[in-house]
């Protein structure tokens, strides 16, 4: 036999080859009659796929950043126009003129018989008030004097004659509801004699004092505001003289314009 030459396979499929019978018998004499032609697969592994470069990602243009929303325009609303107030009548308050101060007292006249005190003012008008006088005529001074001192909330000091009659009297009584002179006192030029208030208003109109002239609290307050130190005071035993009727006021003539 010559040198062995490998049979030339016949390609059957990409992965198997079939040898012709003559070549199989020449190559394998012992099995030529017993073995039919056999297809011997040749395993070369999976056929590698051809290399393909990965496709590049599609190019995309960069998206611009979203623009901020434009602010909504501010619509200015016109201010509401107030409705005109309904026509109403204007009332202008005119302050009242203060009443003129009373005229100061020129004189005080006291009547023991009438048990009244009359104040004559500088404008000629007069005011009369009820009073209490001394319990007996010998306690009442008659004549003319003047006011020498005015006192608010006076302290009452009993006179020596009062102490002789009643030694239990206190040395003094301070201002207050128990003070026999009340809240106001007008000291006269006669020692121990006064025109004053009282804490016994039921005695007014009677002969009830030790010689002073008592007045109701509201009346002495009024007289206290009218008089001043130096005002003349006259005490008479008789009745108060009748006051003359005031002169009638002059008629008001209409205003005339000069021609």
- Give the catalytic positions in this structure: 196, 212
Spatial contact of 232 and 106, defined as CB atoms under 8 Å apart: yes
Cα–Cα distance measured from residue 209 to residue 199, given in angstroms and rounded to the nearest whole number: 12
List strand residue ranges (DSSP E) for the chain, in order: 10-13, 16-18, 39-41, 105-111, 116-121, 126-130, 133-134, 143-152, 184-188, 194-196, 207-209, 213-214, 232-236
Cα–Cα distance measured from residue 187 to residue 203, given in angstroms and rounded to the nearest whole number: 20
Start-end of H helices in 99-216? 160-165
Cα–Cα distance measured from residue 108 to residue 145, given in angstroms and rounded to the nearest whole number: 10
> What are the φ/ψ torsions at residue 222 (nearest 5 degrees)?
-65, -45
Three-class DSSP category at 221: helix
Spatial contact of 201 and 216, defined as CB atoms under 8 Å apart: yes
> What are the φ/ψ torsions at residue 195 (nearest 5 degrees)?
-105, 120
């Amino acid at each position: 036999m010559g040198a062995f030459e490998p049979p030339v396979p016949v390609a059957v499929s990409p992965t198997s080859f079939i040898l012709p019978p003559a070549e199989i018998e020449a190559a394998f004499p012992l099995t030529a009659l017993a073995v039919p032609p056999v297809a011997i697969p040749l395993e070369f592994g999976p056929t590698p796929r051809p290399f393909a470069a990965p496709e590049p990602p599609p190019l995309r243009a960069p998206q611009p950043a979203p623009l901020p929303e434009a602010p909504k325009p501010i619509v200015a609303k016109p201010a509401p126009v107030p409705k005109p107030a309904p026509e109403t009548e204007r009332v202008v308050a005119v302050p009242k003129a203060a009443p003129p101060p009373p005229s100061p007292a020129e004189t005080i006249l006291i009547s023991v018989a009438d048990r009244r005190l009359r104040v004559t003012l500088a404008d000629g008008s007069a005011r009369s008030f009820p009073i209490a006088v001394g319990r007996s005529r010998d306690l009442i001074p008659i004549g003319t004097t003047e006011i020498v001192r005015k006192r608010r909330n006076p302290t009452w000091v009993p006179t020596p004659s009062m102490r002789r009659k009643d030694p239990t009297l206190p040395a003094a009584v301070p201002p207050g509801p128990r003070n026999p002179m009340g809240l106001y006192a007008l000291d006269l030029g006669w020692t121990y004699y006064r025109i004053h208030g009282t804490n016994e208003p039921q005695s007014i109109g009677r002969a009830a004092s030790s010689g002073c002239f008592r007045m109701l609290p509201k009346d002495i307050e009024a007289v206290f505001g009218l008089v001043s130190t130096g005002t003349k005071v006259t005490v008479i035993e008789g009745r108060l003289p009748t006051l003359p009727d005031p002169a009638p006021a002059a008629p008001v003539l209409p205003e005339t314009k000069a021609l």
